[in-house]
Amino acid sequence: MSSRVEPQQSAPTPADFSFDLTHRQGAGTVEAADGRPLGRVGVIHTPHGDIQTPAFIPVGTKATVKAMLPETVAELGGQAVLANAYHLFLQPGSDIVDEAGGFGKFMNWHGPTFTDSGGFQVMSLGVGFKKVISMTETAHAEADVIAKNKERLAHVDEDGVTFKSFINGDTHRFTPEVSMGIQHQLGADIIFAFDECTTLLNTREYQEDSVDRTERWAVRCLDEHARQTAARQHRPYQALFGVVQGAQYEDLRRKAASGLANLRGETETEQMFDGFGIGGALEKSMLGTIVGWVNEELPENKPRHLLGISEPDDLFAAIAAGADTFDCVAPSRQARGGTMYSSSGRINAKAAKQRRKFEPLDPECDCYTCANYTAAYLHHLFKANEMLASTLATIHNERFIVRLVDQIRESMIDGTFVELREDVLGRQGKL
């Protein structure tokens, strides 16, 4: 992790945030219509340090990466942490985090930080949908039943979203201005515009309306971001990313991306986005294609963050299509349930065959867990319901994904991207 950087005393400006594209990778990556390769390596410069890209960003939903110390996240190679605006707004309250000096200081993390807008959580928790990348026919049917039988806890209108807290049922309202205010209080280096996150169940007509509404909300986010930045000159500059929606429709994705790329706020500052997020519902098989559509339209001199992925095959596909950073709760969530990544595919730490395996869970892994503990001991911890199981398992999973993306970055610099992809995915049976 980068060395600690104290917030500057001068007034914050967009110049405090930048992105340098340092390498292009042609072989094995997506090629744009104009012939340029989309795969790339770069550096994001923030007030609290640099992020070497491509990079996986561990998720600390409530200002904590579950089961781990912040120091451990840094030791395993995490360059930044992402927290959730929705959850921190509900508990402990963004005003408390602001008084603490921002969520990085609140949780004793001194490197770069991200917060999402809360848009996905407002909709997914309110409507009853979970994070869905691959929507099979069965999943569509199950989601339809949920939608029909579950009281909707979130309601979208032109101004914003009214929703009920999943904690106690209290009613709240998020608008673009409210989301910007919350995220400025949370104090992350990179924040996201408030968007409407649709599902694959929504009609084409609704997706069109949603893309247009998200762009109108984006203008309001730019204006409120400029106002908050001017009013909070005691804090470092926060980079604002616009979020590209459009589901699986090429024309909508390209329209959304090009629209956000050229969008300016309506205030005198004419604020533009500092980077871009790629979100929304999509089927797993379409991930690389959709990211490629979007990145053909986005400017090359600004970073692109793909929201919510961490599977090895998805990472290779997204990086080949030009995505720079990623976040996902899956490595820590699956670890707490005993599902472990490994060089040969998934491992169930609770399975009986691990009971007498007196060697590392993954002999090729360099994490703290694999260096010091056996698969048998981890199996015992899970079976005994010991808290240490979650800690050791999470260290392994987070290190595995962080290290994999680091290896992909290195392979793009030395020209071995194709060989690495074939080796990693071949051994995991994902080719």
Sheet holding 113-116, edge to edge: 55-58, 325-328, 304-307, 275-278, 239-244, 190-192, 113-116, 81-84
Listing DSSP states for 145-193 in one string gives: HHHHHSPP-EEE-SS-EEEE-TTT--EEEE-HHHHHHHHHHHT-SEEE-
CA atoms of 128 and 415, how far apart (whole Å): 44
Dihedral sign (CA 324, 108, 89, 122)? positive
- CB-based burial of residue 40 (10 Å sphere; 0-12 exposed, 13-18 middle, 19+ buried)? buried
Checking DSSP bridges between strand 304-307 and strand 171-174, what pairing results, if any?
A: unpaired
Is 366 a residue of the active site?
A: no
Euclidean distance between the first and final Cα of the chain, in Å? 32
CA atoms of 329 and 312, how far apart (whole Å): 14
Residue 416: HSE in the Cβ half-sphere, 13 Å Cα cutoff: 9
What 3-state class would DSSP assign to 388? Answer: helix
Dihedral sign (CA 141, 194, 203, 298)? negative
CA atoms of 298 and 364, how far apart (whole Å): 38
Catalytic residue selected from 16, 50, 98, 116: 116
CA atoms of 52 and 118, how far apart (whole Å): 26
Is 34 a residue of the active site?
A: no
CA atoms of 114 and 301, how far apart (whole Å): 19
Q: Which residues are catalytic?
A: 116, 327
